[in-house]
Structure 1
Amino acid sequence: MRKGIIFFVCLLFLFSCEKIPRTAEGLYQEGMKAAKEGDWGKSTEMLEKALEGELPPSKQELAKITLANSYFNDQDFENAALNYEEFLDLYPASPRAKDALFRLGISYLNLVKGPQWDQTFTKKAIRAFEKFVKEFPNDPRVEKAKIYKNIARKILAENEVYIGGTYDMLHKFTASINRYKIVKEKYRDVESLDRIDYLIGRAYFFTDIQAKEEIDRLKRQLDKEKEKLNSSDPEAKKVAENRIRLVEKDIEKWQKIAKKNKEIGKRILTEVAAKYPNSTYGIKAKRILEGEKILNVEPVINPLKRSIWWKIKETL
């Protein structure tokens, strides 16, 4: 009987212990201990809960950066970025701010899928690394920050090449020229000039294909407007005459664009062939000038899949 009572009392004690809520301080201690032991899942869980309670300011700061680092080390870069952002907003003057900013840039870069997708995180990574270099010029990680920034810039350059290639595929060469020019103007330090000059020259050279398609479309429109000249309605006839003049001007415009761009394209491709005779793009430029119609879309380069990516993993 006595043993049964003792057992019952023990059960009551255990159940009552479970119902007692853990304090923010207790959760904080558990979370910090888990982080020290490399148990990132437990660390994030405990520290998230601890920060919901009341902690002294000094412990709030340490809990926040440790939480961000735990997400980072667990390769949960989305939550890591969110917590680094919050940390920098709350503690911009903290001695830990430089670590948070550097890892924020790396978190953003790890969230980038590649040149073919949305570039929001790429641009955020560039801003983070630029800020790091500016605010902490003597930090030993500055050179790494510059390398990672240029990886992100290369991704943006390839995004422009990807969009340009899409326009090429649709025979919208006047649009692809603008995209390739952006690459040459903004990213020439991270892009192969033989490649980008070749793409610009090729787009100019083959603009006559786009012009022909546009002129054929305009001629069909012209035929429809000419049929309306037989209308008995004077107003409708007048509108048709005005449209015919506009369409004829557009046809003339495209004829001039085709002729002008062909000459520009010849000049650029000739320069590429002469300057880079052994380059893949110099050879292709020469083949086009000799009459070959090379319109295949150039593959996009994803720097995140190259061997340089191990350098970012090295910082974890």
Structure 2
Amino acid sequence: MKRIFLIVILLSISLLIISCSSSKDTEIKSAEEMFKKGMELFNDNDLLEASKVFDIIKLQYPASQYADDAQYYLAEINFKKDEFILAAFNYNMLRRLYPNSEYSKISMYKTALSYYNLSPDPERDQEYTLKAIDAFQEFQRAYPRDSLYEQAGIFIQELRTKLAEKNYNIANLYRTIYSPSASIIYLDLIIDDFPDTRFYDLAVIMKIEILIEQNKFEEAKFIINTFKTNYPDSQNLSKILALEQKMAK
């Protein structure tokens, strides 16, 4: 009797193991099939249906090898649809949930690219410009030898120039409404923080002009001499020298 009972127990355990193994194989197969279907829809540009499939993979098969793929392609769908806020969110989500994913590096870069696409004209709020700069710099720190490092630097320069332009426009506005002190505050922001942009020279020139108008000749001379020493090959040197001659009269 005991022997029969033992045999029944062993058979039950065996069936349970086989059942679990079969269930696991079915799950892997199902996740694979779902992902294949999602990619077919994605490649056919049926983005709405593709996103539904990738969402199902995330919900039903979160531990499968296709979970990070699904997360990445959800972000890609957002990016393709110009939904850049959602794209940045989903790229960041991939990095948080799957830090070792093969998509981690490109997701970091495309997060920055999403913020770049959200960066507005200089006249508007520059929150996303700052976010894009931070994100591209984070990518450069993480992957200094990557082929995208140089392109990230080009984007950073473009975005920094936009910030400098915004400050220059504000400085010019304050000068127009006869508020030279406020104008100089924004010019100094450019001079101190954005010397690598084309607005640096323009800010120096405007500041010298304002100082001359205020009869602050010694301060103007100091800035002129500093510029001549540091930037002897500047295309705007002739304008600086013209202001120097103007003071000498």
Closer, same or farther: CA 63–285 of 1 in aligned 2, 3 Å: same
Match of 2:146 in 1: 139
Q: Is the CA contact 2:95–2:107 (under 8 Å) kept in the aligned structure 1?
A: yes
| Contact 2:165–2:199 (Cα < 8 Å) also in 1 | no
Q: 1: distance between equivalents of 2:69 and 2:99?
A: 14
Q: Which residue in 1 is equivalent to 2:189?
A: 182
2:62 corresponds in structure 1 to: 56
Provide closer, same or farther for how the CA distance between residues 84 and 264 of structure 1 changes in structure 2, counting only shifts above 3 A: same
Q: How far apart are residue 106 of structure 1 and its match?
A: 0.9
* Greater RCO, 1 or 2 (C-alpha within 8 Å, sep 6+): 1
Q: CA deviation at 1:28?
A: 4.9
Kindly report which structure 2 residues correspond to 1:288-303, keeping only aligned pairs within 5 A, or say none.
290=246
Contact 2:111 2:135 in 1 (8 A): yes
Q: Quote the Cα distance in structure 2 between the aligned partners of 1:104 and 1:138.
A: 19
Measure how far apart 1:187 and its partner are. 1.4
1:286 aligns with 2:247: no
Structure 1 residue 90 and structure 2 residue 119: aligned? no
1:34-183 matches, within 5 Å, as 34-48=41-55, 50-51=57-58, 53-57=59-63, 58-183=65-190
Return the offset for 1:113.
1.0
For residues 86 and 119 of structure 1, the distance between their equivalents in structure 2, rounded to whole angstroms, comes to 24
Q: 1:200 aligns with which of 181, 197, 207?
A: 207
Distance 2:191 2:133 in 1: 19
* Residue of structure 2 aligned with 1:265, choices 220, 227, 246: 220
The range that moved more, 261-270 or 66-75, is 261-270
Q: Are residues 1:31 and 2:28 paired?
A: no
Match of 1:252 in 2: none
Q: Residues 164 and 192 from structure 1, CA distance in 2 versus in 1: closer, same or farther, beyond 3 angstroms?
A: closer
Contact 2:175 2:183 in 1 (8 A): yes
Q: Is the 8 A contact 1:174 1:204 kept in 2?
A: no
Deviation of residue 123 (structure 1)? 1.2
Is the alpha carbon distance of 1:277 and 1:121 closer, same or farther for their aligned partners in structure 2, counting shifts above 3 Å?
A: closer
Q: Which amino acid aligns with 1:70?
A: I
Contact 1:195 1:281 in 2 (8 A): no
What displacement does 1:136 show?
1.3
The 8 Å contact of residues 190 and 199 in structure 2, kept in 1 or not, is answered as no
**Does the aligned pair in 1 maintain the 2:161–2:197 contact within 8 Å?**
yes
- Matches of 2:239 and 2:66, distance apart in 1: 64
Unaligned runs of 5+ in 2: 1-29
CA distance in 1, matches of 2:224, 2:144: 42
**Structure-1-length-normalised TM-score:** 0.58
Taking structure 2 as the reference length, the TM-score comes to: 0.72
The one-letter code of the counterpart of 1:133 is Q
Does the 8 A contact of 2:209 with 2:243 survive in 1?
A: no
Give unpaired runs (5+ residues) of structure 1: 1-23, 209-258, 292-316
Contact 1:270 1:285 in 2 (8 A): no
Q: RMSD between aligned alpha carbons?
A: 3.2
Residue 301 of structure 1: aligned partner: none
For 1:152 and 1:185, locate their aligned partners in 2 and report how far apart those are by CA, in whole Å: 17
Percent identity over paired residues: 24
2:201 alignment partner AA: D
Structure number with greater Rg is 1
